[in-house]
Homo-oligomer: A and B are copies of this chain.
């Protein structure tokens, strides 16, 4: 085990640790730890809601999940000598749930959760079909996940950090805040909102205090979206063995990481869709001086996925196009096409006995693949979603015989506003 440079105590809140991380992006958040290019080290990570979501059979915590608290990020790590214009190399050597704790109240202690966010709390990819909150708790058995809330399935986790990135420069931060404010201004009261503006409430900003804290809390970008610096990309393939290259915008790069997932389907479609957990990540960092110009990488991470992803060989797959459920034709809208493909998967799998929300939770959590199949065939995009058949206890392939039925058990807990 490499040296742990960012240890977290599972019995304490994220704000009460010896080293305090952050949950906003801002160049003025001080480095928590300084390392050298070439260093290998461990980082503990806290689950994104800092323990607010419980291992129980209620979705009330999902309904009320305080979005202002996310994401609990470990960092910033200052990489000595890294300069704006460099590329930061991050090798993911290992990543997993909390290693010394197999049970306990904190996600990552042998379990994790997936939530469908309610419409009035951010919503999900299928918010119109699923306006209420739902939760599934997943148990970890080695690298396998199962859930009492979604019986009849098990799958091998493709463990990865949902969020990694470098600090923005002041200039880049301003660009973010400006463009997102402009979007929000087009429909400021929309539910769910179009974007999340800076929010001082619940801001955690490392060692900052006083006026500096207040200023940075008022300016800091929220961590929900991926942006030029990487950020919350939710790329399920950033698993063990992956090498990622990030643009460097500030001296020392100021790398941060969090939002570990035991598994996730492409798109993280339930919003809280991967299997959320606390855990650790072992990384090796290095720098390509001048790499942004050298390789013409102005923004966004580039990466090379690792070679130990779970091997599946058979999929049941669904397609969708950019026509709304109401029959309206949209122009080359892959977002909509993927929604329709996912809805088709839900329609299909419910014939085997699962409830729609159980399938939706499964699609958010299992290693499904979502692909852009056709993006130019006017006016319809075609999107496809691939579900490994081996994750089901029953045979879910279409055929001539009777449709086997699963017992949906206690179902997925639901919570809705009055």
CA distance A236 to B374 in the complex (A): 9
Cβ-based interface call for A194 (8 A): yes
Cβ-based interface call for A348 (8 A): yes
CA distance A344 to B247 in the complex (A): 13
Are A315 and B305 in contact, with the CB atoms below 8 A?
yes
CA distance A291 to B294 in the complex (A): 38
Copies of this subunit? 4
Are B241 and A300 in contact, with the CB atoms below 8 A?
no
* Known A-B contacts A180-B329, A237-B317; A266 and B372 likewise in contact (beta carbons under 8 Å): yes
Are B398 and A271 in contact, with the CB atoms below 8 A?
no
CA distance A165 to B182 in the complex (A): 43
Are A347 and B383 in contact, with the CB atoms below 8 A?
no
Are B327 and A179 in contact, with the CB atoms below 8 A?
yes
Contacting A302 at CB < 8 Å: which of B235, B266, B398?
B398
Residue of B nearest to A347 (CB): B296
Are B156 and A308 in contact, with the CB atoms below 8 A?
yes
Contacting A235 at CB < 8 Å: which of B241, B323, B382?
B382
Complex interface bits, A9-37 against B, C-beta within 8 A gives 1, otherwise 0: 00000000000000000000000000000
Cβ-based interface call for A314 (8 A): yes
Complex interface bits, A374-406 against B, C-beta within 8 A gives 1, otherwise 0: 111111111110100110000001111001000
CA distance A212 to B228 in the complex (A): 57
Q: Which residues of B contact A61 (CB under 8 A)?
A: none
CA distance A2 to B387 in the complex (A): 30
Q: Which residues of B contact A318 (CB under 8 A)?
A: 300, 302
Cβ-based interface call for A278 (8 A): no
Cβ-based interface call for A218 (8 A): no
CA distance A288 to B399 in the complex (A): 7
* Known A-B contacts A1-B99, A233-B382; A142 and B91 likewise in contact (beta carbons under 8 Å): yes
CA distance A315 to B338 in the complex (A): 24
Complex interface bits, A190-218 against B, C-beta within 8 A gives 1, otherwise 0: 00111110000000000000000000000
Contacting A300 at CB < 8 Å: which of B1, B331, B340?
B340
Contacting A156 at CB < 8 Å: which of B224, B307, B310, B316?
B307
Q: Which residues of B contact A102 (CB under 8 A)?
A: 1-3
* Known A-B contacts A329-B179, A380-B226; A344 and B300 likewise in contact (beta carbons under 8 Å): yes
Residues of A within 8 A of B (CB): 1-3, 40, 87, 89, 91-94, 99-102, 122, 124-125, 141-144, 156, 175, 179-180, 182-183, 192-196, 224-228, 232-237, 240-241, 245, 266-271, 273, 282, 284, 288, 291, 294-305, 307-321, 323, 327-335, 338, 340-341, 344, 347-348, 350-351, 369-384, 386, 389-390, 397-400, 403
Contacts A237-B317, A298-B347, A304-B317 supplied; 7 other A-B pairs, CB < 8 Å: A1-B100, A141-B284, A235-B384, A237-B384, A300-B341, A308-B309, A312-B313
